[in-house]
Structure 1
């Protein structure tokens, strides 16, 4: 199976996504390393002996109860440190703990080795933090040098998150990233928009050839403001555990129970788990959402978020950007699902549209969308026509909207302006049809044998749809020859013909209408 593989190495969660040439993007499960909800690999390594690099990874570390160990064998939170400093000179065989670059390289290589049998990606796209992009890129090139993949690409994380959430090129996005170990707020301006090319992943290898020394322009989102703190979801787990079990040792079992409570309270008002202390019977732990919210306020989480947001918005003011000019607010990271966080976002950023997305997967899915040549497109076998009245000839004719062989989904809508044909006209009829391309040939018999004979061009018959859309009402009665409506037709990624109508005299824009499937 050829296609594109995207790996988003995160501080607490690593997401692997795949898109084949004829399939939609999907998250890729990598047993026994990945969890099922979400389908992702916890960014955890347990290595008992660096001379024998067979580590426990992700879910294996969780199931072994080692995720909260203080020993040097456990490696976590190393992603944030990769690229923060220049790459160190080569050293003797590694000792425990591994350097961040060594831990990250080991994880990526193990994930590559765990790909399902028969999956041979022809393109690998990776994500990089925007604040250490050049050094992180250098590290990734070294890590991927031995991977047998013809094409290698790189994209910055804020751009990937925004594109993965469906935001257009040229947007200005406030990304609120609440991960397991860190909180990062960044205000970024994406490339593209206003006639400029859309953002695209940077190719580092193409057709097996190294492009690292090429003159490609560095194409990253522009940082307007950024602020962060080394505080995250695991710290919230510790607060919960200390609140419920004062004086208890915050070991792995207790912290896992606290994390389970936190996750349940994202969708429920009350949560219950059972904690099994060493040598004692299981004990119930209960927590309500209201008490968790009060605990987070007591611990100063919202005050800390306020401070970070103010730093970022100060950067916006220096750039001449008002809050109401920010295109969207994009929460990412598992902790962004917490109801208190969503409430804080709505209260403090109420004037900025909140872009709902899949917070854990958005970066990986956006990386796929930004990689050249991976967007799945189809072609129309038949076209779509609109029946129009020709005033000069006093007869109807079929105006092609989309023709056979044209790709979909549409890159841009097709616009048509309709005028009235009778006095005080109150509506315009909408009649759609499908050209019968097979009737461009006719069957005739020559010497008793059927022969296909092409018909002259332009004589293909159009078959009206069996179910037509309702007439388009006019806000104000129209007169003959008066332009009244602008119709914008497009084909969406589900193969549906979509119509948006603008009344040219009142300026009213109708909601998009699904008119029916295309073929």
Structure 2
């Protein structure tokens, strides 16, 4: 059955949905041989584990194939790719004589999944929709574009995950009502306050406020891993721990999934070191997991994400009391204590969970089929300029987070000056500014693969944090203004106006103040997020 496709590439699992024009609804696709059911009871849905293995023969195994071959924790297996790509990780692993990065592995995985989905749904040539976290930077969306090109997909759209979830809930939401989409997946947590509107062409989703944090199910796996080592008096640098670190992480993830089922009260983690015969083990019950999450301030961080989204919505005239319901999304939202956190904020009667594992993919398929929504820019964007009096680079905001698009009027106007005599080529360096989440003496950590192929816990340095919160988006082409005749140092040479089009592109119109002419009109500079 042909249909538009929605692809939710997740940190832990990837979900695919196809739109059926006859029923005007989306259905989750099963990809035989690659997928597996995930969830509990009537919440089970078909997913493809976001994992790829490169064999010694340089073949690729994907998803459930990796599990079936018992290679989930083997060398040459890549997982959590989305998170490393989003953080621009420099990690590389030597496999079959070549260095493979998460960007490479993610591209090989997702391009193959796209081809499989198009074949399964008989959707070759149809438009697809890919999802991205609200906190993602332009480089991640660019990477998705490269993947679709590698897969031979010529028509694709991007939608942020909470907005896709709002569209995916479909019949469960009513026009004129406000909802909070709470999406807690493998790599991120996101909250979006949305207003559902009725239009001539059907319903649309207007995003009132949204926020996110780079914490997810894989973070919880890391905390369980650290707790396991602490209880056994071990360190991730111990040789025997290094040998079994991958297997330990698999068991930590399994324990988390088991304890996400309200019917389960405990889980056992146990891994045998084949070289020494020693067993590293831990019993983890529900109270122990909740205490672990509380010690790492998970619930406080979830609360802060929700409050930030609500504050953003309040600037548009909507507050917490206007929220009709909280709609839970993502595998980590199934953890009972996570749901209780939302119930504590909004009350039990306003928190709902209906197929949280595939609602994003189904909404993405609806978006690919033409269901619309009104959105705004998520991050601040700033122009870097050189202050001659201090000798330092400074930043001036040109687009503020929350700006609606497309813009009817210029969103920012500025003057570009020459920095030296006889200058002909002048440029504008535009930076995307994320939120620095480190506060006070708080120390962030993450799991990384060392050169020996073992997992270890590493601190996220202030330089790492700075690099992840500030990104030069037009680094490859910052210079595009040409002064004829050449300009002198300090001379105001161009007046530029910024606007935003329907595709979230930042457009520039430049006026030559000396020549008295327009040199650029609606010139696309960068893609905003």
Equivalent position to 2:207, from 206, 222, 233: 222
User: Cα–Cα, structure 1 residues 269 and 9, in superposed 2: closer, same or farther, change >3 Å?
Assistant: closer
Q: Aligned equivalents of 1:58 and 1:369: distance in 2?
A: 25
Are residues 1:246 and 2:232 paired?
yes
- Work out whether residues 4 and 124 of structure 1, in 8 Å CA contact, stay in contact via their aligned partners in 2: yes
Give a deviation string over 1:288-346, Cα, whole Å, max 9, x none.
22222222222322222233333333323334321011233122111110111111110
Residue in 2 aligned with 1:164? Answer: 168
Structure 2 counterpart SS, 1:114 = helix
- Work out whether residues 34 and 62 of structure 2, in 8 Å CA contact, stay in contact via their aligned partners in 1: yes
User: Cα–Cα, structure 1 residues 96 and 256, in superposed 2: closer, same or farther, change >3 Å?
Assistant: same
Residue in 2 aligned with 1:176? Answer: 182
User: Cα–Cα, structure 1 residues 313 and 53, in superposed 2: closer, same or farther, change >3 Å?
Assistant: farther
Structure 1 counterpart SS, 2:351 = coil
Structure 1 counterpart SS, 2:257 = helix
How much does 1:352 deviate? 7.9
Q: Aligned equivalents of 2:289 and 2:317: distance in 1?
A: 38
Structure 2 counterpart SS, 1:287 = strand
- For residues 252-401 of structure 1, the aligned pairs below 5 Å read 252-265=246-259, 266-273=261-268, 275-279=270-274, 280=277, 285-350=282-347, 353-372=350-369
Structure 2 counterpart SS, 1:222 = strand
User: Cα–Cα, structure 1 residues 47 and 272, in superposed 2: closer, same or farther, change >3 Å?
Assistant: same
* CA radius of gyration, larger in: 1
Residue in 1 aligned with 2:111? Answer: 109
- For residues 15-164 of structure 1, the aligned pairs below 5 Å read 15-20=15-20, 25-37=26-38, 38-47=45-54, 54-62=59-67, 67=72, 73-80=76-83, 96-98=99-101, 100=103, 102-115=104-117, 119-122=121-124, 123-129=126-132, 130-132=134-136, 139-145=143-149, 152-164=156-168
Give a deviation string over 1:257-307, Cα, whole Å, max 9, x none.
232222222222423446231133878753322222222222322222233
How much does 1:20 deviate? 4.9
- Work out whether residues 268 and 289 of structure 1, in 8 Å CA contact, stay in contact via their aligned partners in 2: no
| Range moving further from structure 2, 135-144 or 160-169 | 135-144
- Work out whether residues 323 and 352 of structure 1, in 8 Å CA contact, stay in contact via their aligned partners in 2: no
Q: What is the TM-score when the length of structure 2 is the normalising length? A: 0.54
- Work out whether residues 173 and 328 of structure 1, in 8 Å CA contact, stay in contact via their aligned partners in 2: yes
Q: Number of residues paired by the alignment?
A: 339
Q: Aligned equivalents of 2:220 and 2:120: distance in 1?
A: 41
From the two aligned structures, give the one with the greater strand fraction: 2
How much does 1:199 deviate? 5.6
Structure 1 counterpart SS, 2:356 = coil
Q: Aligned equivalents of 1:256 and 1:82: distance in 2?
A: 21
Structure 2 counterpart SS, 1:227 = strand
How much does 1:246 deviate? 2.2
User: Cα–Cα, structure 1 residues 194 and 164, in superposed 2: closer, same or farther, change >3 Å?
Assistant: closer
Are residues 1:187 and 2:206 paired?
no
- Work out whether residues 193 and 313 of structure 2, in 8 Å CA contact, stay in contact via their aligned partners in 1: no
- Work out whether residues 66 and 252 of structure 1, in 8 Å CA contact, stay in contact via their aligned partners in 2: no
How much does 1:235 deviate? 2.9
Structure with bigger RCO (C-alpha 8 Å, 6+ apart): 2
From the two aligned structures, give the one with the greater helix fraction: 2
- Work out whether residues 161 and 360 of structure 2, in 8 Å CA contact, stay in contact via their aligned partners in 1: yes
Q: What is the TM-score when the length of structure 1 is the normalising length? A: 0.55
Q: Aligned equivalents of 1:270 and 1:194: distance in 2?
A: 44
